[in-house]
Amino acid sequence: MLHVPKSFIVLMAFAVAACGAVSKLPEIDQAVAEEEAQKQREMAIEENEYNTSRAHRIGFKIFIANAELCQKTKFSMGARLAYWREQDDEFIDALKNVYGLKAHAKFIQVPQDSPAWKSGLRKGDEVVAIDGENVPSDGKKVFRWTTKKLSELTKAEKSYTITINRDSAEKIINAAPEKVCDFPIVVNKKDEVNAYADGERILLSVGMMRFTRNDNELALILGHELAHNTMLHVQKGSGNRMAGAVVGALIGALLGVNLTQAGADLGGAVNSQDFEAEADYVGLYYAARAGFDVSDVAKLWRRMAANHPAAIHLAGSTHPSTAKRFVAIEKTWEEIKSKKKTSH
Ligand SMILES: [Zn+2]
């Protein structure tokens, strides 16, 4: 028998008496609740897919357009693949439903103009063979085999073939990966409006994604964080000036003007306010070079100020004032516009 102390029983009785609901609540059918839970799991996957694919679509465009300005690059096709793993839990059925997953891994995102897109891959294509080798028929091995094979071939920096199944017909695709900046974007589910770079990756909150009103504004944020990484703001130190000079020279070369001096000045940034200003400046170039319309994106800082009035300050703090950032980004846009004109 289980020995229960008397005091505990009294306490329990008290708790029940105190907390018992007095209203007559609706009866919940277990099967109906489970059906609703399944619906909600699917919604969670769809929400996650919306944010992940948006960050990827915009980020990849910036990463491929600025590959020559990144000191850390890799080869990539730019497409995203889905399958379920054996260890996945109660979300497996929802995953299969949302993505329509069957026996093979499936491309769930093929951004327009990405290497995958140019090679003829499309969203929904299933991978049945790679370089003539069939995907294993054992379901447990599908995902690991497919992703491993694709990443090995992509890393080797040469073309390969992917046999896909589209609308029950097989098609052979010649995949030709291209060089992109290698700073993966990690989207986290936090509501706070935040993004940062850690030297290796770009970390982006869902709150920040929601705060942006359009893709151009998110491109400003991603360009800014990419600049922190390429300008070695995390590592800082003596390498900084050199990195600035390199980036300045390259931006200049690609716009047909000499920016080496500006780049060297930028690279000499030593404190966090300077780093922020520098990331705003270089990041705007990154976004513009990727084809985003940055003519209006400075407004993001006005909305930021409206939501966080303390950031309007004109002196002190580790972050530059939202007022100064707005003015600086507008000026940078004017500079980009005039350079585009003279380089044509
Ligand atoms: Zn920053």
225 within a domain of the structure (yes/no)? yes
Q: Looking at the structure, do residues 191 and 337 belong to the same domain, yes or no?
A: yes
Decide: helix, strand or coil at residue 172: strand
Mean confidence (pLDDT) of the chain: 84
Q: Looking at the structure, do residues 194 and 174 belong to the same domain, yes or no?
A: no
Distance CA 20, CA 294 (A): 58
Domain count, the chain: 2
Tokens of 270: 């030593």
261 within a domain of the structure (yes/no)? yes
130 within a domain of the structure (yes/no)? yes
- For residue 138, the domain's CATH number is 2.30.42.10
Q: Looking at the structure, do residues 230 and 334 belong to the same domain, yes or no?
A: yes
Amino acid identity at 155: K
CA 269–ligand 1 middle distance (angstroms): 13
pLDDT, tens digit (0-9, with 9 covering 90-100), for 222-238: 999 999 999 988 876 43
CA 108–ligand 1 middle distance (angstroms): 31
262 within a domain of the structure (yes/no)? yes
Q: Which of 75, 78, 143 shows the shortest CA–CA distance to 109? A: 78
CA 318–ligand 1 middle distance (angstroms): 10
Q: Which helix (H) or strand (E) holds 163?
A: strand 160-166
131 within a domain of the structure (yes/no)? yes
Contact 100, 203 (CB under 8 A): no
Q: Which of 180, 210, 245 is the last residue of a domain?
A: 180
Rounded to an integer, the average pLDDT of 293-307 is: 93
Q: Looking at the structure, do residues 256 and 295 belong to the same domain, yes or no?
A: yes
Q: Looking at the structure, do residues 261 and 335 belong to the same domain, yes or no?
A: yes
Q: Looking at the structure, do residues 84 and 199 belong to the same domain, yes or no?
A: no
Distance CA 131, CA 150 (A): 9
CA 65–ligand 1 middle distance (angstroms): 21
Q: Looking at the structure, do residues 223 and 160 belong to the same domain, yes or no?
A: no
Q: Which of 180, 208, 224 is the last residue of a domain?
A: 180
113 within a domain of the structure (yes/no)? yes
Domain that holds residue 194: 183-343
Burial of 142 (0-12, 13-18, 19+ CB in 10 A): buried
Cα dihedral 26/29/32/33 (nearest 10): 80
Q: What percent of the chain has pLDDT over 70?
A: 81
More confident position, 234 or 195: 195
Q: Looking at the structure, do residues 80 and 126 belong to the same domain, yes or no?
A: yes
pLDDT, tens digit (0-9, with 9 covering 90-100), for 6-48: 544 444 544 555 556 789 999 999 999 999 999 999 999 999 9
CA 207–ligand 1 middle distance (angstroms): 16
pLDDT band at 242 (very low <50, low <70, confident <90, very high): very low
Lowest mean pLDDT among 108-112, 294-298, 312-316: 312-316
Q: Which of 180, 215, 240 is the last residue of a domain?
A: 180
Distance CA 145, CA 81 (A): 12
CA distances from 41 to 46, 47, 102, 106, 186 (A): 9, 10, 19, 20, 21
Q: In the prediction, which pLDDT does 88 show?
A: 60
pLDDT band at 275 (very low <50, low <70, confident <90, very high): confident
pLDDT band at 133 (very low <50, low <70, confident <90, very high): very high
Q: In the prediction, which pLDDT does 89 show?
A: 77
CA 224–ligand 1 middle distance (angstroms): 6
